[in-house]
Amino acid sequence: MVEKYEIMGNQLSKQRLHYIDIAKGLLIFTVIVGHISDWSSQNGVTNELFVNVSKINFTFTSFFMAAFFAITGYCTNFNKAYKQYVWSDIKSLIVPSVTLVVLAIGINYLLTGILDTSGIRPHHLIRFISSHWFLLALFWAKQIHYFVRRINNKYIILFLYIIFSFLGCFLNNVVKDYYWMQHGLDFVLFLFIGELMKSYDFKFDRFVWCVIPYVIYVGIAYLLFPKIPHIAAGVDLELWQLPLFYIGAITGTFMIMYISKKLNTNRFLEYLGRQSLIVYCLHFTFIGIFCRTFKCSLNSMNMNESVLALIIFLAFVIGMCLLCAWLLNKKYLKWMIGK
């Protein structure tokens, strides 16, 4: 959901904000880039460029998932009746988290002949509902925030959410993250931050406040730590590093919002951002298909050929995801994405 809600007199109105779509487009692109190395290696690719793309991940891993939560908090109307609110979340988050797994299995089978049903086996569905942790974590975080925000004290809410995130990270090392609830605890703070950005009407227009702090943070963190503290599908930090993660995630979110507002409009990034849920759920499938199909060629390329292959790879993955998005927005298929 990428509309910002505003009170106009006694009426609640909504308008599409182009820079929000651009921000989501930039973020989902970093998600794809962030998965290239691991997923290429898992599918037999040893090409030096593909394997080493992950060396640039430190520039965005601090914030690329947290920013999605902050943008959701910035754009969501939390004043709906809960019945309407939760039903909307079930349709837009829970339903696609399952249907798009099934679709991905079908696409993989049609294009490669490989049938991998591990994501829809009963024991997996019962324990996790979906392989797409982000959608489930966002669902739980939104339910938590809907009620906690009723506390009429921002400092108490902030304190609670810091406790929640410490609890989520601690539990991650103790018990299995069933239904991705622990991730919901980890990220609910950023829904609150997003809502604060909206309520205080942050402009994201000062380079010195929106970009420089993140550049300084990521530079220092890169020098001090083997891995920059971050949370994505895994919790890649020690508990004492959680405040560092907050700094990186918040300043990184400000930076991406600043860049998006400076771009102002970009039809491709806006469309990519509007389809980010579908791209998130399906890009793994197309990465795997491309790598398995062309791994022999990729593994024998020189660097110049590898650069061209990487460009073609990104065009293929993004293009196929957007083709699927176009089809899924058609009348008889849009129920799969909660519409």
The predicted-structure confidence for 145-183, as pLDDT tens digits, reads as follows 999 999 989 999 999 999 999 999 999 888 888 889 999
Q: What is the pLDDT of residues 20-58, one digit of tens each?
A: 999 999 999 999 999 999 999 999 999 999 999 999 999
Q: For residues 330 and 275, give the distance between their C-alpha atoms in angstroms, rounded to a whole number.
A: 13
CA distances from 28 to 135, 278, 318 (A): 14, 10, 10
Specify the pLDDT at position 86: 97
Report d(CA 133, CA 172) in Å as an integer: 13
Measure the CA angle with vertex 276, ends 271 and 280; round to 5°.
145
Is 60 exceeded by the pLDDT of residue 79?
yes
Percentage, residues of the chain above pLDDT 90: 83
CB count within 10 Å of CB 46 equals 12
Sorting pLDDT into bands at 50, 70 and 90, what band is 277?
very high
- Mean pLDDT over 94-119 rounds to 89
Across 92-115, b (16+ Cβ under 10 Å) vs e yields bbbbbbbbbbebbbebbeebeeee
Q: Mean pLDDT over residues 299-322, rounded? A: 97
The two tokens of residue 143 are 């339910």
The predicted-structure confidence for 205-256, as pLDDT tens digits, reads as follows 999 999 999 999 999 999 999 899 999 988 999 999 999 999 999 999 999 9
Query: Encoding tokens for residue 99?
Result: 């249907």
Closest alpha carbon to 237 in 170, 178, 176: 170
What is the rounded CA–CA span in Å between residue 337 and residue 339? Answer: 6
